[in-house]
Structure 1
């Protein structure tokens, strides 16, 4: 009880301004420790007391209200009206027996409500599971150890560790900062990032000027910091805003809007047809008393209800949710269901190079030293390979060997990466991939153990973007503890600090000739699109030199240059080929050198050999017209800034493209937000990028994007499948009743000429058909394996309807065949009509009723493809067969079980009659097969389909 009160107090209170209080005071107030954080036990206790770090504008919808919402649909109101009409008819008839019609309709209403409730619950569970998969995380101190936890588990008193790219998970008072800048536009509207400072404010200040605080929902764009959490959940500044907002409903997706539009249009049309049918029956039949009028009205209401696929929204949401979960299993985590539609329509994929198109495993490919050039075999972090001599005096005993050892050992020492093999045999790194490349090279030569035993680091001069170098000071234990400065950096910069060069075991002056050769080596590596790094060193003659800092980086001995490449992913080349086959253009956007970008793009098949890359500087020099023209033809962009990415996205969208854009850094967030599908890297992506994106790549692999596009297209095709099925089946029901009434005399359905009221199907039979053939088979088709090649067509246009003119024509044709097969089955059984029969009206109606059910089940297999035969991939969907089998069992039961015979107006059928019903209903299948064959024969492909 006490915990509940505390929780209510936490949620309702206005956040305090802790920027006016000293850091130590705030830490003590929350009984925390700035160096060790909370204990796990205390954190768990506070999580129970205060609740999760979540925003809740409204309370969860109670179960009973969710169940009651299933009865809010206007079509359900029609059914409830039908129950009232049936009860009136029962009363008029003297209340004899049970009101069977009313009871059956009530059972149908309850069954439909149950199905809808279960489907919505499953869809909600699927969406919730996706939300958990994409939940933000935060770095905190727990038990004195740095750990990363879901931001929803943050509690007051936690010590937040903030770094560039982090999304701030809760409000907090800063303890310390190092050039910490936070983007707070989402909260304060300030466009510029705010420089934070842990100092105490002397007077109350606006939110935008509370420099000692960080707030939930903001993003770290630079530097680092440490803060104690002061508010979580609704007791944050963003939570205070949430209190003032009314709950807003999520916008419907374009597909949902179209389905709603189709439902309204179809509903209006069907109601109109129902009115016409009712009026026609009343005019053409001799109505004998109020009971006949009630029966006609009941039939009209039931017809209107049965003809509209009211289960579409629930099925649609569930199919999307299942599809998205299936994509997540393939490392593509889509954050919102609506993004699936857009993903399948992507016409351009703009991708980063490093880690997405390449392995993000920097590999030393070449070593250039004074005595020769060599090439390493092997790629990635697996230290398997050898050094092959290309020119000069190589070999195990040659002078180049000594130079290569210095280059690889020096590069390894002047870095902070680590290389290790996991228990399952996988090689992995910690730290910068470029630095790790030297460690791998060392292991390939087998010199790493000796270097580790010989040298010990005593100081470091870190890398800066201004100096473009990093140095370490090492103790050489083999030479009496002599100190050596080892430097690694950009070759053009490092050479200016060198006065000597290593040649074999000797050191000679770095004269003009030697310098020219070294520069030529660098240019050669750059021409081959390799990233270059040089290594140099110098023994320190005086211990006092250690005080010079960066001044140590002088009079260095140049050792050599390495050429490093991030090898392309093999699967990326295959995926790019698949994307091009699907009509999707792939664009590479990278900050690398243009030559490197062009080489990798050519290797992957994005462009042809020799195609040039545009640089950010060249883009800046273009006017809008030239820029738009360049975007249409150039597919490789190098040395670009985030602002260029955003401009490229805008230009592509203005040209009518649906754009997917990848990114991993904070500055990529605007471009990801602007793109139709923003894709964040799950491994290397920052929290800010993940929040801005609509999809997250769990494996940072470009091939996963193409897999997701294929899955998105397949999901959309499955949606078209069940729409095709539902609409054609329901139109078949409408036409059966309408044509049966209009043509009653033709098929012998006119009461043997007596003019009495005769309907082809009873209201309860129509509702039964709707119950057993709609939800199960439609849902099974929604998870259907691919029957058509989803990647053998260009992207779907953004303005293309899911239900196009071709589908409407197909729906009408199949519905008409269903109706004719049903009515002809009845005619075969009835006396008179086109074919003389001998059976009673009840027997004929049962046969027609059964034929219509089976026709819709045959239609399941037709609807799986607009062009392929139903016999293609016939047994790949076990769920569809299970749904059809269950529907068949239910139909056999309603025909043969005596208690259901009374409820649904049926009579048992003989074996010959069952076979006749199956044969007549199969005409739907044969008609569709002929229609598809003609379409294939004359190459009438659906819109956007590439003919095989």
Structure 2
């Protein structure tokens, strides 16, 4: 559809028969290279022709594909870089920057020194083993961090902003990072400006620049030449990266990208800004610090106890005690928690992305599991967003439109007569009215209906596209395109609730005509006449009431209603509006300013109303039921008619048969107390403006709710930012809402929100799983060593050797346990599928601790059982003690060491749930079994391979030893199963009260 007036003046060239011819002039000094950006201040002083020519671009055709690729390769991506990327070798070395690692390195030095003092005979086994373990830990940490970085980078690629540019004469969407100097940006309401650019055309274009200037009021933009010393906020002929288009349309030629933009200048000032940790990260860090302090104290106590009860005489004895304390401290503190947390979150978020829920920030996952209210739009979210005109109602009656979706297959008929094809005079009036309604709605539209490879698709608003489809079914499209040329537009806004366009009617000597479509009540209020057949009559009150009743009838059938009207502007005579309009410069860029639109949108001729249907998605009802089962309330907030909204809400189970819908006008009349009561009692809000969404979010949050809010328009951005979880629409959403939202729905589907809530709960559960595992296993190590030292005479350790210091576990064995049983099982638990029914419980409360008292008691209980069975194994195989055995200290210690390792592997199954049996869905997590098998194989190797026996002080075990170790280690699983059985019985009793 032509958007350019016949009187348009060309920017930067002249229009000839062959098309665009560039202007020729001497190049400016600052623009010898057409790819050099025109500085903002100097660029504003250039005329449009100069600015465009300096960048070597045709503003109608844009850059060619090869030229854009060349400039991208030359200048690099259009992305802000706050600091240089960290080299991989520095990331690896950073793994050693930990106080506990410093302790281990100090232990290597001490052990090597003792080995040297004692004659340096053989290899310094302890030193070598500890050094190897330190390096292996660093490799594991590096690989985990790299994997998390790669996952986050992949997530960023999914959520990157896209821009519409003109390439080779066609408007195409490209990632914002691929925008280059000289690109022609196509701007529309809701777009985020991808780069600094010079405006070349504008139609009521307004841009919010608060991000740069702090001014809350949107700035009107227009082509023109301005002084070169204006401050940024007054440069009305330029747009800037990171700002948002709030109204209108326009085009702008890119003059600056990446760090050469105003936003890039600010980014350089923020290079030293440090990212603040999320609440979950802060709690994990707190746990690490708490455990670090506690374990250091325990390590000191253990070393002091060993020193007091043992006869420490030699440097070797002292080094043994020191290595024990250091190893115990290192093994007991889960220093890998941050890395494991990052990997689990990033992998979980990628899994959500595969389900079409793109979470932009990892920290949002913890909020998702706490959502207690989902405030959702109707159109496209709860419904399929394929608007289809089903009825056309005019003064002469109503007609049915067959077919569904965007494929233009179907007819418009009244009874047996098909409108648009019959010559029956009885149907002539209705055919004439139907023609004006459908063609009028198609004229006042910015959407396009496309057919590619046999598939019909829509570019633009689905409501506008519905007119195009219905018009094509009636066979009117070709005549409408030939007859009318658009010369102006007053765009739709949420405040106006209507859109008007001005066209030249070539069948009436290019007479200008205004076409308006929008909310029927709004459009009808501006009408003084109506169309019946080929006549224009005075709109009396009875006809007005009948038209409103038709709207109510269509809304009662859950249809969305759009009213259509028009006004011949005339070139002469008493009206004269068309003459005044065409005599102005307003239409040079297709712009109809608000004040002119307000004058023209009066004395309209009412034509009729269309009823569109957007049926509920098949899966939406089940998703609403899942949300309610999970204790999550669903609230519908829509701009549609109350009857339509209420019908859909009742069909989906959002509200009951006695539910009511509250309108935006009714919300405006409520005081603070009334608003609080309304958001508690009402589940459907209709005919609301974007500011009402913000009021509803704030009211719900003040009641303690964690709120998820959906949005697609630019005016929804404040509500999305204010909500705990802003959910932007990936298909219909504007770039501004995608930036404002914490989550993007790639399919605009409500059920995806519920899937995301479920997945968020699963991820949070998995975080608790690996915390439960790591802390209970480390607690088992600490208690084994501590109780082994204290109870050494009781279990036969004291009499088992003539050495001054006799320990239940060697320092290298403790480090081995830390290496083998920490990272792999923890990561596997982080990817565990849903074990508990996460949607059968209430949302997590604000401020609820990750590790509560119940979980701490379970950690202590499991750790105690691990220590008891490990020490009992030593006692079973040692002579003396509580149970008489026959093996030497090395074999008994190896058996106790093996029992502790196997107990931790059994504990992996325990940790999958705090209440559900660890044997449920036993084979559902292949990664878990891979980690367990790896741990068993590694333990067999350390027990039976001679080189590892020397390194870790182990001896070979026979099958009987392995059987006893396995049976005793399994007590960790069976004891926890008993505790869970008691817990489930107690929970059932509480639920039955």
- The question of a shared fold, defined as TM-score above 0.5 by the shorter chain, is answered with yes
* Structure 2 residue matching 1:839: 3-state secondary structure: coil
**The one of 673, 677, 683 aligned to 1:629:** 677
In structure 2, distance between residues paired with 1:112 and 1:736: 23
**Does 2:518 match 1:501?**
no
Which string of whole-angstrom CA distances, capped at 9 and with x for unpartnered residues, describes residues 441-468 of structure 1? 577xxx6358858995345697756787
Aligned to 2:466: 437
* Structure 1 residue matching 2:199: 3-state secondary structure: strand
**The one of 554, 557, 562 aligned to 1:525:** 554
In structure 2, distance between residues paired with 1:74 and 1:206: 51
> Where in structure 1 are there 5+ consecutive unaligned residues?
1-5
In structure 2, the CA distance between the partners of 1:601 and 1:404, relative to structure 1 (3 Å rule), is: farther
Aligned to 1:715: 763
**Does 2:301 match 1:307?**
no
In structure 2, distance between residues paired with 1:383 and 1:55: 44
**The one of 428, 438, 455 aligned to 1:412:** 438
Per-residue deviation, 1:348? 1.2
Per-residue deviation, 1:843? 0.2
Aligned to 1:781: 829
* Structure 2 residue matching 1:614: 3-state secondary structure: strand
- State the TM-score, normalized to the length of structure 1: 0.89
Per-residue deviation, 1:607? 1.1
In structure 2, distance between residues paired with 1:537 and 1:752: 103
* Structure 1 residue matching 2:798: 3-state secondary structure: coil
Which string of whole-angstrom CA distances, capped at 9 and with x for unpartnered residues, describes residues 698-738 of structure 1? 11111111111111111000110000000000100001001
Per-residue deviation, 1:157? 2.4
* Structure 2 residue matching 1:532: 3-state secondary structure: strand
**Does 2:684 match 1:658?**
no
Match runs of 1:29-40 below 5 Å = 29-40=54-65
In structure 1, distance between residues paired with 2:481 and 2:438: 11
Aligned to 1:104: 129
Aligned to 1:874: 922
Q: Do the aligned residues in 2 keep the contact of 1:457 with 1:472 (CA within 8 Å)?
A: no
Query: 515-524 vs 873-882, which deviates more?
Result: 515-524
Per-residue deviation, 1:554? 12
- State the TM-score, normalized to the length of structure 2: 0.86
Per-residue deviation, 1:197? 3.1
Aligned to 2:368: 343
In structure 2, the CA distance between the partners of 1:304 and 1:342, relative to structure 1 (3 Å rule), is: same
In structure 2, the CA distance between the partners of 1:65 and 1:643, relative to structure 1 (3 Å rule), is: same
Match runs of 1:493-642 below 5 Å = 493=523, 496=527, 498=529, 501-502=532-533, 520-533=549-562, 561-642=609-690
Query: 544-553 vs 726-735, which deviates more?
Result: 544-553
In structure 1, distance between residues paired with 2:570 and 2:285: 82
Query: 808-817 vs 349-358, which deviates more?
Result: 349-358
Which string of whole-angstrom CA distances, capped at 9 and with x for unpartnered residues, describes residues 414-458 of structure 1? 2155556653x6543345433443555577xxx635885899534
Aligned to 1:282: 307
Q: Do the aligned residues in 2 keep the contact of 1:719 with 1:782 (CA within 8 Å)?
A: yes
In structure 2, distance between residues paired with 1:616 and 1:440: 31
**The one of 219, 241, 259 aligned to 1:234:** 259
**The one of 14, 37, 43 aligned to 2:68:** 43
In structure 1, distance between residues paired with 2:626 and 2:962: 48
Q: Do the aligned residues in 1 keep the contact of 2:438 with 2:470 (CA within 8 Å)?
A: no
In structure 2, the CA distance between the partners of 1:509 and 1:41, relative to structure 1 (3 Å rule), is: closer
Which string of whole-angstrom CA distances, capped at 9 and with x for unpartnered residues, describes residues 738-797 of structure 1? 111111111111134868321000000000000011001110110111111111111111
**The one of 128, 131, 142 aligned to 2:167:** 142
Aligned to 1:3: none
In structure 1, distance between residues paired with 2:603 and 2:294: 89
**Does 2:865 match 1:817?**
yes
Which string of whole-angstrom CA distances, capped at 9 and with x for unpartnered residues, describes residues 826-848 of structure 1? 11100011110000000001111
Per-residue deviation, 1:678? 1.0
In structure 2, the CA distance between the partners of 1:116 and 1:438, relative to structure 1 (3 Å rule), is: same
Match runs of 1:185-224 below 5 Å = 185-224=210-249
Query: 526-535 vs 454-463, which deviates more?
Result: 454-463
Query: 244-253 vs 522-531, which deviates more?
Result: 522-531
Match runs of 1:374-413 below 5 Å = 379-381=404-406, 408-413=434-439
Per-residue deviation, 1:633? 1.9
**Does 2:692 match 1:644?**
yes
Query: 365-374 vs 165-174, which deviates more?
Result: 365-374
Match runs of 1:761-776 below 5 Å = 761-776=809-824
* Structure 1 residue matching 2:829: 3-state secondary structure: helix
Query: 519-528 vs 666-675, which deviates more?
Result: 519-528
In structure 2, the CA distance between the partners of 1:652 and 1:695, relative to structure 1 (3 Å rule), is: same
Which string of whole-angstrom CA distances, capped at 9 and with x for unpartnered residues, describes residues 231-272 of structure 1? 222222222222233422211111111111011111111111
In structure 2, distance between residues paired with 1:454 and 1:236: 43
In structure 2, the CA distance between the partners of 1:541 and 1:687, relative to structure 1 (3 Å rule), is: closer
* Structure 1 residue matching 2:839: 3-state secondary structure: coil
In structure 2, the CA distance between the partners of 1:865 and 1:378, relative to structure 1 (3 Å rule), is: farther
Q: Do the aligned residues in 1 keep the contact of 2:781 with 2:814 (CA within 8 Å)?
A: yes
Q: Do the aligned residues in 2 keep the contact of 1:410 with 1:488 (CA within 8 Å)?
A: no
In structure 2, distance between residues paired with 1:508 and 1:65: 81
Aligned to 2:387: 362
In structure 1, distance between residues paired with 2:448 and 2:254: 33
In structure 2, the CA distance between the partners of 1:484 and 1:250, relative to structure 1 (3 Å rule), is: closer
Aligned to 2:45: 20
In structure 1, distance between residues paired with 2:850 and 2:159: 29
**Does 2:87 match 1:58?**
no
Aligned to 1:934: 982
Per-residue deviation, 1:924? 0.6
Which string of whole-angstrom CA distances, capped at 9 and with x for unpartnered residues, describes residues 108-131 of structure 1? 000000000011011011111111
Aligned to 1:86: 111
Per-residue deviation, 1:900? 0.7
In structure 2, distance between residues paired with 1:453 and 1:221: 34
Q: Do the aligned residues in 2 keep the contact of 1:718 with 1:783 (CA within 8 Å)?
A: yes
In structure 1, distance between residues paired with 2:689 and 2:515: 32
In structure 2, distance between residues paired with 1:537 and 1:653: 45
* Structure 2 residue matching 1:683: 3-state secondary structure: coil
In structure 2, the CA distance between the partners of 1:17 and 1:243, relative to structure 1 (3 Å rule), is: farther
Q: Do the aligned residues in 2 keep the contact of 1:411 with 1:488 (CA within 8 Å)?
A: no
Q: Do the aligned residues in 2 keep the contact of 1:534 with 1:562 (CA within 8 Å)?
A: yes
Q: Do the aligned residues in 1 keep the contact of 2:530 with 2:538 (CA within 8 Å)?
A: yes
Per-residue deviation, 1:410? 4.1
Aligned to 1:865: 913
Match runs of 1:653-732 below 5 Å = 653-732=701-780
**Does 2:483 match 1:457?**
yes
Per-residue deviation, 1:535? 6.7
Which string of whole-angstrom CA distances, capped at 9 and with x for unpartnered residues, describes residues 11-33 of structure 1? 99986642122232233333333
**Does 2:947 match 1:899?**
yes
Q: How many residues are treated as equivalent by the alignment? A: 928
**The one of 150, 153, 160 aligned to 1:128:** 153
In structure 1, distance between residues paired with 2:695 and 2:128: 64
**Does 2:873 match 1:848?**
no
Which string of whole-angstrom CA distances, capped at 9 and with x for unpartnered residues, describes residues 353-379 of structure 1? 221122222233445567766766765
In structure 2, the CA distance between the partners of 1:50 and 1:592, relative to structure 1 (3 Å rule), is: same
Q: Do the aligned residues in 2 keep the contact of 1:19 with 1:210 (CA within 8 Å)?
A: yes
Q: Do the aligned residues in 1 keep the contact of 2:503 with 2:512 (CA within 8 Å)?
A: no
Which string of whole-angstrom CA distances, capped at 9 and with x for unpartnered residues, describes residues 788-834 of structure 1? 11111111112011111111110110011111111111111000111
In structure 2, distance between residues paired with 1:485 and 1:872: 69
